[in-house]
């Protein structure tokens, strides 16, 4: 193939890729089935996220701060104890 054929082939490939990208990014018809499905999915996600957020915020508003702090400290102390035991076992094994 000559230079002109290769150049023309590259231009065709480049343009087809560019136009495919433009077609992919372009907005579709507002009444298209794909757009309708996407809207339904987004609405469902928003509905369930707001429902979950209201439940979680209601539960956390009733928690005693000192009780939460003591439970957190107990958990952290347990993790630190397990870590120390694991590190001791690993050094003893070597």
Summarize pLDDT for 64-73 with one digit per residue, the tens.
Answer: 788 888 888 9
Percent of the chain at pLDDT exceeding 90: 14
Dihedral angle computed from the Cα positions of residues 72, 74, 76 and 81, in that order, rounded to the nearest 10 degrees: -170
Res 40: pLDDT: 84
Angle, CA 39 vertex, CA 38 and CA 45 arms, to 5°: 90
Under a CB-based contact definition with an 8 Å cutoff, are residues 35 and 28 in contact?
yes
Q: What is the mean pLDDT of residues 10-18?
A: 90
Cα–Cα distance, 52 to 46 (Å, whole number): 10
Structure tokens given for 75: 């958990």
Average pLDDT of the chain is 81
């Amino acid at each position: 193939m000559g230079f002109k054929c290769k150049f023309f082939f590259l231009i065709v490939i480049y343009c087809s890729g560019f136009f495919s990208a433009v077609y992919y990014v372009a907005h579709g018809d507002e009444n298209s089935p794909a757009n309708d499905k996407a809207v339904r999915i987004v609405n469902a996600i928003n509905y369930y996220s707001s429902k979950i957020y209201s439940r979680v915020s209601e539960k956390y508003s009733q928690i005693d701060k000192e009780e939460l702090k003591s439970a957190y400290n107990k958990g952290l102390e347990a993790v630190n104890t397990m870590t120390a035991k694991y590190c001791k076992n690993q050094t003893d094994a070597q």
